């Protein structure tokens, strides 16, 4: 029986819409595909909806300011940047506990506009651009969104450039093997802020 990942890849290749839920985080499986376990990180410019259960007067829509902080009716200058929605909700619960008994908070990103919500695809692709990151996003997702490889692409010399804890990592990925030979081991998981670089063929 085909794995769920294989079915998703086939659906993407055929242009069939696929819904990827936030709960679909998995690690590398037996088929060799690196699945994303990366959760969305909030960044400056994002629009958030804060829900405080049973306290509608405290439930507000707020932007993440350029300084990376948000303000709500009872909590001023809470750092939101580089936190997941779950982490921010927990921090708000801790802060609100000074005023409420057992507060329950949910945080939803209603507009993802920060650099942390994008993956940039540059070089020899049909339409180089920044594409929105989503939970479970892979290299194939990004390549399809930019229209595939260009005619002069050296796809098997592509690489993912990633900033991890202040260090720059370069992860090689063979796009020709992925797109033309169906080698799903090359379908690496992407993270917010990644740059997929596709160099030009050397003649």
Supply the pLDDT for residue 2.
39
CATH class given for the domain over 47-111: alpha beta
Measured from the Cβ of residue 158, the count of other Cβ atoms closer than 10 Å reads 26
Cα–Cα dist 203/201, whole Å: 6
Q: Are the CB atoms for 120 and 192 separated by under 8 Å?
A: no
List, as one string, the DSSP characters of 55-78: -GGG-EEEEPPTTSEE--SS--SE
Supply the pLDDT for residue 139.
96
Tens-binned pLDDT, residue by residue, of the chain (203 aa): 334 444 444 444 444 433 333 333 333 333 444 444 456 788 888 999 999 999 999 999 999 999 999 999 999 999 999 899 999 999 999 999 999 999 999 999 998 777 778 899 999 999 999 998 877 899 999 999 999 999 999 999 999 999 887 789 999 999 999 999 999 999 999 988 899 999 999 86
Supply the pLDDT for residue 203.
65
Supply the pLDDT for residue 38.
52
Strand partners for 160: 171, 196
Supply the pLDDT for residue 105.
97
Supply the pLDDT for residue 112.
79
Rg, the chain, Cα only = 20
Q: Where are the domains of the chain?
A: 4-30+115-198, 47-111
Residue with tokens 């306290």: 55
CATH class given for the domain over 4-30+115-198: alpha beta
Backbone angles phi, psi at 200, to 5 degrees: -90, 145
Cα–Cα dist 12/101, whole Å: 47
Strand partners for 158: 173
Give the contacts of 55 (CB within 8 A, at least 6 positions apart): 100, 103
């Amino acid at each position: 029986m085909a794995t769920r990942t294989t079915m998703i890849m086939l659906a993407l290749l055929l242009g069939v819409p696929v819904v990827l839920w936030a709960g679909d985080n998995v690690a590398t499986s037996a088929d060799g595909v690196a699945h994303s376990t990366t959760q969305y990180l909030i960044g400056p410019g994002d629009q958030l909806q804060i829900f405080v259960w049973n306290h509608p007067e405290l439930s507000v829509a707020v932007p993440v300011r350029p300084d990376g902080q948000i303000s709500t009716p009872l909590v001023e200058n809470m750092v939101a940047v580089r936190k997941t929605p779950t982490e921010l909700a927990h921090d708000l619960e801790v802060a609100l506990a000074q005023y409420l008994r057992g507060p329950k908070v949910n945080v939803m990103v209603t507009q993802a506009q920060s650099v942390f919500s994008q993956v940039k695809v540059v070089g020899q692709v049909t339409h180089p651009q920044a594409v929105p990151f989503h939970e479970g996003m892979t290299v194939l997702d990004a390549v399809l969104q930019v229209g595939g490889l260009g005619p002069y692409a050296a796809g098997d010399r592509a690489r993912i450039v990633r900033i991890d804890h202040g260090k720059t990592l370069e992860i090689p990925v063979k796009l020709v093997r992925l797109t033309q030979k169906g080698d799903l081991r090359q379908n690496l998981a992407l993270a917010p802020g990644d740059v997929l670089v596709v160099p030009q063929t050397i003649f």
